[in-house]
Amino acid sequence: MATKNLQDYELMVIFTPVLAEEDYKNAQKKFTDFIKDNGGQIVHHDAWGLRSLSYPINKKTTGLYFVLEYQAPSDTNAKLEIQMNRDENIIRHMVTRLDKFSVAYNLRKRSKNLSVETAS
């Protein structure tokens, strides 16, 4: 298999707040596995948990947030979009292509958080 040119992306998903903890973790795993199965690599994932929404969506005022930074061939996002649109547990989702500055910023931010956590 020829190596495809991987692009950097960030996915933010808001799941319905009624998911049980295990279902929330399974939903996260579903999308990380999907990206890996389609030639991508997970750079970082962060489950933010339950947060308030800025405005009600489908009569819900909270949602379970999940942020995933990954590298994947550009055609993976179209397949991912189809999967997310079919998933009834997802309230909203957004995929953002990251430029080199965003990737560097996220890396610095993560390394600062790690040093703060280990210092305490």
pLDDT in tens, 55-76: 999 999 999 999 999 999 989 9
Predicted TM-score (pTM) of the model is 0.83
pLDDT in tens, 7-56: 999 999 999 999 999 999 999 999 999 999 999 999 999 999 999 999 99
Which domains does the chain carry?
Answer: 7-119 (3.30.70.60)
* Dihedrals phi, psi of 66, to nearest 5 degrees: -145, 125
CA angle 49–58–52, rounded 5-degree value: 30
Which of 108, 36, 114, 30 lies closest to 70 in space, CA to CA? 36
